[in-house]
Amino acid sequence: MLIAPSVLSSDFSQLGNEVRRMDLCGADWIHLDVMDGHFVPNLTFGAPVIRAVRGFTEKPFDVHLMIDEPLRYVPDFLDAGADIITFHIESQSDTEKTLEAIRAGGAKPALSVKPGTPAQALFPYLDKLYMVLVMTVEPGFGGQSFMEDMMEKIRVLKARRPELLIQVDGGINPSTIRTAAQAGADVCVAGTSVFKAEDAAQAIRDLKAAAGQK
């Protein structure tokens, strides 16, 4: 199980240092949630902030675009140093064109689904994807409770394309990561449970252990 701490739960006044801290504490990826205040009812940060903290780690930058028009901004996030770009099937951009723009720019393309969207909506694109992000909370704010009924989406997607990476995001802790791992998840985004822990390195080790990884 890969652990991708979400900087949404970090101290924004120390963002570069927080990214470095997660690297040193054993994070596999760094998860960056971009919100535009339209697609979701919250605002976070954009490409300039990602570019500013890119130099604090060599770990992959896993950028989750919760925005209306991802295609319009793909070049900015590529230039900022994104390694993986995830956008929502529910966004207003053309899905095929957005996937192609990400691939053409040298990043790995991924699609995400909100809790209310069925896994089957992704089926036409699965052979073009590096990863699918299954939201286990409603996107927009951190600290929400894990929706266990989303695990069926993971099972459906893994059955359809076993080699596809499946990421889960929302309410991840040692109990829920075990549930996600048993369903077939490969990557877990963890925010509060890592950044707010007294010992972030131990929190990451505990998550991996709970997922069945020594």
Could you give the C-alpha distances from 27 to 30, 116, 210, 214, in angstroms and in order? 7, 29, 15, 15
> Of these residues, 11, 23, 94, 169, which one is catalytic?
169
> Of these residues, 11, 23, 28, 33, which one is catalytic?
33
Would residue 33 show up in a list of annotated catalytic residues for this protein? yes
User: For the chain, percent helix, then strand, then coil, each to nearest 5?
Assistant: 45, 20, 35
- The amino acid sitting at 169 is D
Largest CA distance in the chain: 43
CA–CA–CA angle 58, 89, 1 (5° rounding): 40
Could you give the C-alpha distances from 166 to 115, 169, 186, in angstroms and in order? 15, 10, 5
Could you give the C-alpha distances from 193 to 6, 42, 118, in angstroms and in order? 10, 21, 27
SS3 177: helix
Distance CA 120, CA 133 (A): 14
Question: Can you read off the two tokens belonging to residue 47?
Answer: 């490409």
Q: Which residues are catalytic?
A: 33, 169
